[in-house]
Amino acid sequence: MSRPAQPQDLLLMFDRPTEPIFMPKGDNNNVAFDVPPALLDNRINADAGLVNRLGAGEADQHVQVKTIALPDLSIPQTLARDQNFSLFIPLHRKAAGRLIEILMGMRNIDDLVSMSAACRERVNPYLFNYALSVAILHRPDTRNLQIPPLFESFPDKFMDGAIFNRARQESEIFPSGSRQPLEIPVDYTASDLDIEHRLAYFREDMGINLHHWHWHLVYPFSGPRSLVDKDRRGELFYYMHQQIIARYNFERLCNSLARVKRFLNWREPIAEGYFSKLDSLVASRIWPPRHSNATISDVNREVDQLQVDIADCERWRDRFYDAIHQGSILMPNGNRELLTEEKGIDILGNLMEASILSPNMNVYGDLHNMGHLLISLCHDPDGRNLETFSAIGDPATAMRDPIFYRLHSFVDDMFQEHKSTLPRYETNKLVYNGITIRSVDVETPGAPKNELRTYWKKDDVDLSRGIDFTPRGNVFARFTHLQHTDFTYKIQVENSTNSPKVGTVRIFLAPKFDERGVNMLFRNQRLLFIEQDKFTVTLKPKSNTIERKSTDSSLTIPFERTFRELQRNRPGGGVSLEQFNFCGCGWPQHMLLPKGTPEGMPCEIFVMISNFDDDKINQSTEGSCADAAIFCGIRDKLYPDKRSMGYPFDRMPRDGVNTLADFLTPNMFVRDVSIRFTNQTVGVQGGDEPNRLN
C-alpha cells in the first residue's frame, strides 16, 4: 500500500540511524519510505533492485516522499557523518541551529518529511536526531508526537559497550521471540578500589542521563530565537543543575562520602578518573577515558574549529564575580544591566549557559560549555591523536563522569554568590496568615511510620531500534537501577480563617546530619534540600488532611515515560496524536529518593504551604504536559510558580536564624524520617533476585 506521509512517520526516521532512509522501518519493518532519487545521497540511490533486495519491497506500507528543493546544507554538513556530536562545541551548536531552522521552516508535514528524509542521508546521525527532535517538539503540527528516548536510537550512549557484540550474536543465533535479555553488569565501569564508584548507580543511571539529555532538548542552545527564548530559562538552568548537585551530595552522604569538591583550580590535576566503557556504534570508536590526576590544557583543535585557553576561562570567571559583586553586568552597548532580585538569576543563568540568549558573550564568554569541553578534551587538546571528546563532552553522557558534579558545583557556587547578595526572606515573605501545619507523616506500606524504603530493581529496554544488524527483531538489555517503595505524605493543616484558602504545598527532603554526623547550620543544609513535590491545595476553614502520593510528584515522570513503553503495549497499538500528549522531560520517578543506608539514613522532610496569591501565574495549562514542571517548566507556558526557583531555600537566612528549627514559621513543618536501603534486587516481574554483592 502506498500512502501519503503522516506526522508519525517522522518518528520512524529515528530508527537505526546509520541505515539508509529507504530500508524498512518500524517495529515489524513494515514501513518503507519511497524516496525520490534526487533526495537520496548514496551510491545505491538509483538501483531500485538493490533497494528492494534490502527489504523495502516487502514492507506493506510505502510512504510517498515528495521531491523538495534542498537548501544549502553546508553548515550542518561541517560535521562529518562519522564524528561524535556535542552541543558544547560551538561549531556543532551552529550546525544544529541551522538544521533546526531548516526543519522548523517547512510549511507542512509533506515538506518536513521530504526535508527530513534528505537530511537524514546527508548529515551526521547524532546531529540529525537532535535537530529533528527539537523541531518535532516545537512545531505546532508535530508537537504532540512522542519522541523516542535517545537510548532507543543510540543505546551506545547509555550502556556498557560490551553488550552490542553479545546482542549481535544473540540475534544471529536466535529468532526474535526466543532471545534472552542481555544482562548489563551492575559494576562495569570500575571496581570498589575507586571510592567514587560507590556513586555509579546514580551517575550511570539511564533515567537520570535521559532526563539530562531531554532537558537540554527542551531548552536548546540555538535555533530560532522564539524557540530558545523560554520563560525563566536561565533561572531554570541554574535551578535544575543546582538540584542535581544537591541530589548528588545527598547520595554521597548516604555512601559515607563527603560533599563534592568544587572544580575551582583548573590547573590542578583532576583526582577523579573516569573510564566510561561506552562504545560508539556510529563512529565505531570507544569513548576516550580520563585517567586519574589528568590535567586540562589549552585547546586548539582544527577539526572542531575550537580554540580556547584556560586563561580565557579564568578571565570569564573573574568577570562573572565582578558582575555579581557590582550587582550588574556589562552590556554590549556599554550600559550596565542590574542583577535584580527578580531577574538577576535569569540573566546570570543565560550568561553562564551561553545559549544564543547570552546578553554579552564577548565579555562573559562561554564558561560553562568550555568547562565541559576542556575537561572532555584533556587527553587530546590539539587533536594530534585524532581523538574526540569524552563522556563529559555530551549532555547525554556527561552525568556519568564524577567530574561533572565538580564542574557544576563550581558553576553553582557563582549562582550562590549572587543569591547571597539578595535580600533575605523576612518572616512576612514566608508566613501564610491563618494557616498552620499541625503534622506531617510519610507512610510506606509494610514499613514503620516515617520510614522510606529503597532497593534494587531490574528492568528491560529494547535495543532493536538502535542497532542495525540483521536478522531483525527485539533484543532486550536488562539493567539494574535503584527503586523505592511508593509512599504517601499525610499533612494535617489548620485554617483558622473563616474562608477557604488556596496554598502551594512545597515538599523538600534533606539529610539531617553532615559528613561528621552532626547537625548542620541552615546556611549549609539549605543547599542539600532536594525538592520532591509541589502542588496546589484548597484549605477549608478548620482542619484539613492532605494526602499525596509519591507517584504524583510534579518533579518526576513515571518509569514508563522515561523509557517509553513499547508501542504495541499502548491503547490502539500505535502512536496517536490525540492520545499521547507526551513530554519526556522530568526526573525519573525511580530516582525520587536517595539510596539511604541499611541502618536507615536520618533525614528531614520539610513541608511548607505558601500563599497562592503570591505564587500564582494566570494561565491555563490544560492539555499541556505539566506533570514534571519543577525541572522542566510547561511547554509554551510561563513557569508555573511566581516565586524564585528553590524558594524558600534559595537565599541566606534572615538574621537570627542559625538552624532549620529557627527558620520555621507556622505554615512550615519538619518531620524526621529515615531512608532504609535493603540490598536486594527485585526482578523484572517483581520476584526477588539473588543479592548483589556490594
Could you list the residues that contact ligand CUO (CB under 6 A)?
212, 216, 241, 368, 372, 395, 398, 408
Q: Which is nearer to ligand CUO, 416 or 667 (CB)?
A: 416
User: The cell 538501483 sits on which residue?
Assistant: 47
DSSP string of 306-360, one letter each residue: EEE-HHHHHHHHHHHHHHHHHTEEE-TTS-EEE--TTTHHHHHHHHHHTSTT-S-
Phi, psi at residue 456, to the nearest 5°? -95, 150
| Whole-angstrom Cα Rg for the chain | 25
**What minimum distance in Å lies between the beta carbon of 411 and ligand CUO?**
7
How many CB atoms within 10 Å of residue 295? Answer: 11
Beta strands in 411-541 (DSSP E): 435-443, 451-462, 476-484, 488-495, 501-511, 530-539
**What minimum distance in Å lies between the beta carbon of 404 and ligand CUO?**
7
How far, in Å, are 417, 577, 675 from residue 324 at the CA level?
A: 7, 46, 38
Q: Left, alpha or beta for 664 (phi > 0: left; psi -120 to 50: alpha)?
A: beta
Half-sphere exposure of 46 (CA within 13 A, CB side): 2
Q: Which is nearer to ligand CUO, 353 or 531 (CB)?
A: 353
Question: How far is 538 from 174, CA to CA, in rounded Å?
Answer: 58
What angle (nearest 5°) sits at the alpha carbon of residue 251, between those of residues 248 and 257?
100
Helix (H, G, I), strand (E, B), or coil: what is residue 435?
A: strand
Question: How far is 658 from 660, CA to CA, in rounded Å?
Answer: 7
Q: Which is nearer to ligand CUO, 20 or 395 (CB)?
A: 395
Q: Tell me whether the omega of the peptide bond preceding residue 471 falls within 30 degrees of 0, making it cis.
A: yes
How many CB atoms within 10 Å of residue 197? Answer: 18
Q: Which is nearer to ligand CUO, 319 or 372 (CB)?
A: 372
What angle (nearest 5°) sits at the alpha carbon of residue 32, between those of residues 279 and 109?
95
**What minimum distance in Å lies between the beta carbon of 356 and ligand CUO?**
15
Phi, psi at residue 438, to the nearest 5°? -90, -40
Q: Which is nearer to ligand CUO, 137 or 609 (CB)?
A: 137
Q: Which is nearer to ligand CUO, 112 or 354 (CB)?
A: 354
**What minimum distance in Å lies between the beta carbon of 632 and ligand CUO?**
13
Q: Which is nearer to ligand CUO, 33 or 587 (CB)?
A: 587
Q: Which is nearer to ligand CUO, 612 or 631 (CB)?
A: 631
Q: Which is nearer to ligand CUO, 24 or 646 (CB)?
A: 646
Question: How far is 299 from 305, CA to CA, in rounded Å?
Answer: 10
Phi, psi at residue 669, to the nearest 5°? -155, 145
**What minimum distance in Å lies between the beta carbon of 601 and ligand CUO?**
27
**What minimum distance in Å lies between the beta carbon of 39 and ligand CUO?**
35
**What minimum distance in Å lies between the beta carbon of 358 and ligand CUO?**
14
Q: Which residues pair with 688 in a beta bridge?
A: 682
Residues 6+ apart with CB under 8 A from 17: 120, 125, 126, 128, 129, 153, 154, 282, 466, 468
**What minimum distance in Å lies between the beta carbon of 140 and ligand CUO?**
27
Q: Which is nearer to ligand CUO, 241 or 595 (CB)?
A: 241
**What minimum distance in Å lies between the beta carbon of 320 and ligand CUO?**
15
Pairing between strand 31-34 and 61-64? parallel
Please name which of 426, 72, 366 lies closest in space to residue 221, comparing C-alpha atoms.
Answer: 366
Question: How far is 557 from 583, CA to CA, in rounded Å?
Answer: 9
Whether 297 contacts 269, CB under 8 Å: no
| Cell numbers linked to 280 | 560508539
Residues in the chain: 694
User: The cell 502542588 sits on which residue?
Assistant: 535
Q: Which is nearer to ligand CUO, 467 or 628 (CB)?
A: 628
* Residue whose Cβ sits closest to ligand CUO: 398
Whether 625 contacts 237, CB under 8 Å: no
Half-sphere exposure of 194 (CA within 13 A, CB side): 18
Question: How far is 400 from 206, CA to CA, in rounded Å?
Answer: 9
**Given 121, 235, 353, 604, which residue is catalytic?**
353
**What minimum distance in Å lies between the beta carbon of 302 and ligand CUO?**
25
**What minimum distance in Å lies between the beta carbon of 310 and ligand CUO?**
18
Residues 6+ apart with CB under 8 A from 646: 239, 242, 243, 531
**What minimum distance in Å lies between the beta carbon of 372 and ligand CUO?**
6
Q: Which is nearer to ligand CUO, 164 or 404 (CB)?
A: 404
**What minimum distance in Å lies between the beta carbon of 344 and ligand CUO?**
20
CA end-to-end span of the chain: 55
Residues 6+ apart with CB under 8 A from 139: 103, 104, 112
User: The cell 548516604 sits on which residue?
Assistant: 254
Helix (H, G, I), strand (E, B), or coil: what is residue 403?
A: helix
| Cell numbers linked to 169 | 550474536
Question: How far is 33 from 50, CA to CA, in rounded Å?
Answer: 15
Q: Which is nearer to ligand CUO, 282 or 403 (CB)?
A: 403
Q: Does 531 participate in catalysis according to the annotation?
A: no
Query: Known catalytic residues?
Result: 353
